[in-house]
Structure 1
Amino acid sequence: MPTTLVIGGNSGIGLATAGRLASRGDTVHIAGRAPDRLTEAARAHPGLLPHELDAGDAEAVASLLDQLGGLDRLILTLSGNQGAGLLAELDLGVLRTAFEEKFWPTITAVKGAVPHLAEGGSITLIGAVTARAGMPGTSGIGALNAAVEGLIAPLAAELAPVRVNAVSPGYVDTPWWNMVPDADRRAMFDQIATGLPTRRIATADDIAEAVVLLATNPNLTGTVIESDGGARLMA
């Protein structure tokens, strides 16, 4: 039975991914910084095993991985909603914080997990459409996601036969958008959807399906799947 660790697995894409893998028979551990969300996730999905973790803390990552022993799949669905804005108005301190919330925890967790991964195991990360689409106001957050996606090809070559991949989502209806009032968020999503080739906003489960494919298919490595509803085509 494969052992999977989903860091960021307490909500959104991470939780949807954890649920899908558990239904396939994996032993799935979920980790995150918010104990209330972990408790809620474990209550909603009794088969998931929750762990409180700051992925940017190398010692905490090492301690959890020692506790788990061997690992077949590492999935990081870390996110942050800071770092967007026009360059002239961009607060560089906020952008540094965004890197501290997503990029540095990502590379810290990956580095810590490598010695624990089974031969032929997998690492799957989450980037975003801003890494490759020319959208005004996304130079900061785009650089952040490009940094995450930039890990994929070199690590896939360096860590083989461990497989390394990523999913690059576009607009997804997850708690990432909770900073926008509900009515405004609905109106915004409706407007965005009309401009997408798919004419819809993705669900967390849409993205989770792509994550599971990368995590489990033994012939995929060094790959970034663009699951963005065609948003990059309209930028």
Structure 2
Amino acid sequence: MNERTALVVGGTSGIGLATARQLRAAGAVVHVAGRSKERLEALAVSDPELIGHRADGGDREQVAAVLEAIGTLDWLVVALSGAEGAGPFAELDLGALRGAFEAKFWGQLTTVQAALPHLSENGSVTLVTAISARTGLPGTAGLAAVNGALEAMIRPLAVELAPRRINAVSPGLVDTPWWSGLPQDARESYFAQVAAQLPTRRIASAEDVAEVVVLAATNRNLTGTVLEADGGLRLTTIN
């Protein structure tokens, strides 16, 4: 990879961390930004080759400070997420949904805007969205709104910011800390139920999705594309 430089924002756990590890294994210099001091300290022990930065992706000044320290950036991956915004629409807490937009939609946009002055001419931006934007699962209207808003921007941004490339990766169900709010028994039972109905018959790992994120970030022939890494969830109805 000729010593390319990558920044993964939201990279201290889950898909973001798996992506950072895979980019580093491929030879890139990889910076990771996250809000949690504890996770960054753990990262320094588990993955000393990754360069950690404490920053909130929704805070432009903090992101800009990280980018000033990095200099020129080849690949930006934005894996910011949040646990709010799910639930039946009639009972949906709109305050929580606003929080979901703040954490993921506005956080990802803020990060990308701050990064543009540092992104190389042949650089790329890869957003991590979710397949809720493309399915009809009950209880996901709020999540669909957040992720759909991000995905709607991919094609116009790819044209506007060319020759820099802009893509998104849209995962389905992935076994990551996003599900940590569910008790382990309930989570395992739900995953087994869903896996039985997926064409792939399995729940994805963070590493599965990270492989697709790395492809989107590094392949110079991909732009303006949302890659669906959902195990076929969009093709079926989950009961």
Give the Cα–Cα distance (whole angstroms) in 2 for the partners of residues 39 and 193 of structure 1.
Answer: 34
The residue matched to 1:36 in structure 2 has which SS?
helix
The reply to whether residue 3 of structure 1 matches residue 5 of structure 2 is: yes
User: TM-score normalised to the size of structure 1?
Assistant: 0.98
1:43-101 Cα deviation digits (max 9, x unpaired): 11110000000111111111111111100000001111211111110110000001111
| Counterpart code for 1:8 | G
Match of 1:102 in 2: 104
RMSD value over aligned CA atoms? 0.8
Q: Percent identity?
A: 57
1:217 aligns with 2:219: yes
2:59 to 43, 57, 60: 57
1:11/1:41 contact within 8 Å kept: no
Determine the C-alpha separation between the residues in 2 that align with 1:204 and 1:153: 25
Using the size of structure 2 for normalisation, the TM-score is 0.97
User: C-alpha separation between the residues in 2 aligned to 1:90 and 1:220?
Assistant: 36
> Is the partner of 1:195 in helix, strand or coil?
coil
- 1:194-205, aligned counterparts within 5 Å? 194-205=196-207
Corresponding residue number in structure 1 for 2:189: 187
Question: How do 1:149-160 and structure 2 match up within 5 A?
Answer: 149-160=151-162
- Provide the residue aligned with 2:41 in structure 1: 39
Of residues 169-178 and 136-145 in structure 1, the stretch that sits farther from structure 2 once superposed is: 136-145
Contact between 2:57 and 2:80, CA under 8 Å: does it hold in 1? no
Q: Per-residue deviation at 1:129?
A: 0.8
Q: Which stretches in structure 2 are left out of the alignment for 5+ residues?
A: none
Give the match for residue 18 of structure 1: 20
Equivalent pairs, count: 235
Q: Which sections of structure 1, spanning at least 5 residues, go unmatched?
A: none
Q: How far 1:14 moved relative to its partner?
A: 0.5
CA contact (8 A) 2:11 2:17 kept: yes
Deviation (angstroms), 1:8: 0.7
Pair 1:119-2:121 in alignment: yes
* C-alpha contact 1:15 1:41 (8 A) present in aligned 2: no
Deviation at 1:42, TM superposition (A): 2.5
**Structure 1 runs (4+) greater than 6 angstroms displaced:** none
Quote the Cα distance in structure 2 between the aligned partners of 1:174 and 1:48: 20
Q: Distance in 2 between matches of 1:100 and 1:42?
A: 28
Q: Aligned partners of 1:63, 1:51: CA distance in 2, in Å?
A: 10
